[in-house]
Chain A
Amino acid sequence: MTAATPVLAAPPPASATARREPLITLDRVSVTYGRGAAAVAALAETRLSIMPGDFLALVGPSGCGKSTILRLVSGLLSPSSGNVLVAGREIGANEVRIGMAYQNPTLLPWLTVRQNVMLPLKIVQPFRASWHRKKRGEYRDRAEALLAQVGLAGFGDKYPWQLSGGMMQRTNLCRALIHEPDLLLLDEPFGALDQFTREELWATMQDLWMTKRTTVLLVTHDLREAGYLANRICVMSARPGRILEDCAVTFDRPRTMELVYQPEFVALTQRLRELIIGLRTAATL
């Protein structure tokens, strides 16, 4: 159950060679939950830019506000102060298409795998306008092609409960990508899987990214996952969260599981790990 591996990397997107303008900018963003004495500061004066084509991983101790950043970027949450800019403008002003996948696959049990994957096309413009015309033709083929790319060819007519956890998560990734989002948000998408399934899905995710070059923001606890998948890793401090470290990951693609055991890779994860452990002890003191 390994996905096909396109060896050649796709050319960088046009916007990358032209003027590099961040897709997402967090400008001194603070978020506070609750009010008065019970108020909890989740983020403090956070600055972060995500470039088009970035594969950015956010790591940090639990409760540091990683998921808060995800919710800010997706527009589900408004900052208490500061600005979240999408393509240089206030969030909501731009039509940036977003795809999202959580750890819980949340597939709809009354729909087949293919129908689940096609759901965003029924909701998101401009696909929505021609939904009734194309749902049995073009959209169906598009869903099947995407399913085939993640190794689920022939599973379109199954129902979610007939799939394993890994297959459900592959379906979930397809659902997040079917509408060609400008930005893909992943909140620990592989967290609930066993290690071997998780590593298979890393490879699948890398394939998808190398063919589509979607901008990805990945929230994860798993440093190896961050190192394997991301181009950039941002380490966040304990609550209230700030970006402490922003490092580029330059290993060649396609990366393989062998890489994970190379000294350079181990050194990277080791360094990040010590940074985060240090934060944890500082927080408990």
Chain B
Amino acid sequence: MGRFLATLRARAPSTALILGVFAAWEVACLGFGVSDIVLPRPTQILATLIDRWPALWPHTYQTLYTTLVGFGWGVLVGVVLGVLIGSSRLAFETAYPLLVGISSIPKVAVVPIFVLWFGAGTVPAVLTAMIICIFPIVVNVATGIATVEPELEDVMRTLKASKLDILWNVGLPRAAPYFFASLKVAITLAFVGSVVAETVASNRGIGNMMMIASSSFNVPLVFAGLFILAGLGVSLYLIFSAIERRLTGWAHRKAELTVTT
């Protein structure tokens, strides 16, 4: 109970700030008489959200689905690439520039290419979500594995440990905190990818719904879409932070202060 209260006390300022922003938004819209075609009030958005939920749900489901599938593949490919690149200095130095080059391409720009190859719909959204979240995972996993202390590696090698032994017993556990930190970044990015792809080329999903709503000037519905995206993004972020804390508590022992970026 004491712990619960302590958590509550720690969270109070940030919660108050969030509620304050919404309150200020509401009051400002009312006070200055802002039309809901320009900026709807939070209460209006909430009302729309509840009112239109049956119609919104399939879009929400679609976006969540493409994001999670894309994220899943991204994690898989990212971990494999990260382990390969991290296990050898040569691979690290060879592949890193290419990775940086690929990562610096704005992912939005590849959506038309995916549409060209696979047609509009689910596939480009999944692929965009995937490629956008691969990079942070690869870099983090590779860094975690490549930065094993040389003395520790010597100790393992004098024990005649194979590369695989070292990877399994030292490299992977050591990379775990980096990996979980990157998951939090990747899941947020995966949403960006899938929504962008839906906006450009899909007939389902929150991104598509927002496009259609804005073309018919249904601004509260556009904002309702935004709220859904924010809600999904925050929930998944929280889930992955919780998993991270459970599995790699040893890396965060000193810091309840650890910055959660």
> Which A residues are within 8 Å of any B CB, using their own CB?
71, 74-76, 98-102, 104, 106, 108-110, 119-120, 122-124, 159, 161, 175-176, 179, 185
* Contact between B152 and A123, CB atoms less than 8 A apart: no
Q: A102-B155, A110-B174 are in contact. List 8 more A-B contacts (CB 8 A).
A: A100-B155, A120-B159, A122-B169, A123-B160, A123-B169, A159-B250, A161-B253, A176-B155
B157 touches A (CB below 8 Å): yes
**Is B93's CB within 8 Å of the partner chain A?**
no
B156 within 8 A of A: yes
Contacts of A99 in B (CB 8 A): 158
B174 surroundings in chain A (CB, below 8 A): 108, 110
Kindly identify which residue among B149, B158, B165, B170 contacts A76, using a CB–CB cutoff of 8 Å: B158
For the complex, give the distance between the alpha carbons of A126 and B173 in Å. Answer: 25
**Interface flag for B19 (CB, 8 Å):** no
- Whether A123 lies near B250 (C-beta < 8 A) is no
- A109 with B154: CB separation less than 8 A: no
Residues of A within 8 A of B161 (CB): 123
Given A106-B151, A108-B173, A110-B173, A123:B156 Cβ within 8 A: yes
A110 touches B158 (CB 8 A): no
The answer to whether A102 touches B169, judged by C-beta atoms less than 8 angstroms apart, is: no
**CB 8 Å contact bits of B135-174 with A (1 = contact, 0 = none):** 0000000000000010110111111110001000110011
Inter-chain contact B154/A74, CB cutoff 8 Å:
yes
B3 to chain A, nearest CB (A): 21
Query: Helix, strand, loop or mixed for chain A's interface?
Result: mixed
* Chain B residues, CB < 8 A from A124: 159-160
Residues of B within 8 A of A175 (CB): 155
Name the contact of B149 in the complex, choosing from A74, A101, A106, A176 (C-beta under 8 A).
A106
**In the complex with contacts A104-B149, A123-B161, A109-B251 CB distance below 8 A:** yes
CA separation between A131 and B202, bound complex, in Å?
54
Residue in B159, B250, B251 whose Cβ sees the most chain A Cβ within 10 Å = B159
A-facing residues in B165-212 (Cβ within 8 Å): 165, 169-170, 173-174, 176
Task: Please give the distance in Å from A184's CB to the nearest CB on chain B.
Answer: 11
Q: Which 4 residue pairs are nearest across A and B when measured between Cβ atoms? A: A106-B152, A102-B151, A74-B158, A110-B250
A122 and B250 CA atoms in complex are apart in Å by 22
* Contact B158–A98 (Cβ < 8 Å): yes
Residues of B within 8 A of A (CB): 149, 151-152, 154-161, 165, 169-170, 173-174, 176, 248, 250-251, 253
Query: Residues of B contacting A101 with CB < 8 Å?
Result: 155
Residues of B within 8 A of A100 (CB): 154-155, 158
Q: CA A104 – CA B158 in complex, angstroms?
A: 16
In this complex, the member of B155, B156, B170 whose beta carbon has the largest number of chain A beta carbons within 10 angstroms is B155
Q: Whole-angstrom distance from the CB of A66 to the nearest CB of chain B?
A: 15
Task: Please pick, from B160, B169, B253, the residue contacting A119 in the complex, using a CB distance under 8 A.
Answer: B169
Residues from chain B with a CB closer than 8 A to the CB of A185 are: 158
Q: Considering the chains assembled together, what is the distance between the CA atoms of A104 and B165 in angstroms?
A: 21
In-complex Cβ contact of B159 among A71, A106, A123, A159 (8 A): A123
| B170/A123 in contact, CB under 8 A | no
Asked whether A104 lies within 8 Å of B154 as measured between CB atoms, the reply is no
CB-based contact A75/B173 at 8 Å:
no
Is A76's CB under 8 angstroms from B169's CB? no
A227 to B170, CA, bound (A): 36
Min CB–CB distance B7 → chain A (angstroms): 24
Q: List 8 A-B residue pairs with CB atoms under 8 Å apart, sorted by A's residue number.
A: A76-B157, A100-B158, A108-B169, A108-B174, A110-B174, A110-B176, A124-B160, A179-B159
For the complex, give the distance between the alpha carbons of A185 and B158 in Å. 10
A71 to B153, CA, bound (A): 13
Residues from chain B with Cβ under 8 Å of A159 in the complex: 250, 253
Residues of B within 8 A of A75 (CB): 158
CB distance from A138 to the nearest CB of B (A): 19
Task: Give the distance to chain A from B64, nearest Cβ to Cβ, in Å.
Answer: 33
Using CB atoms, name the residue of chain B closest to A176. B155
Q: How far is the CB of B190 from chain A (nearest CB, A)?
A: 28
Q: How far is the CA of A3 from the CA of B253 in the complex (A)?
A: 30
Return the chain B residue nearest A73 by Cβ. Answer: B158
Contacts of A98 in B (CB 8 A): 158-159
User: CA A122 – CA B168 in complex, angstroms?
Assistant: 11
* Listed residue (A71, A99, A102, A175) with the most chain B CB atoms within 10 angstroms of its CB: A102
Give A94 Cβ to nearest chain B Cβ, in Å: 12
For residue B155, which residues in chain A have a CB less than 8 angstroms away from its CB? 100-102, 106, 175-176
A residues less than 8 Å from B169 (CB atoms):
108, 119, 122-123
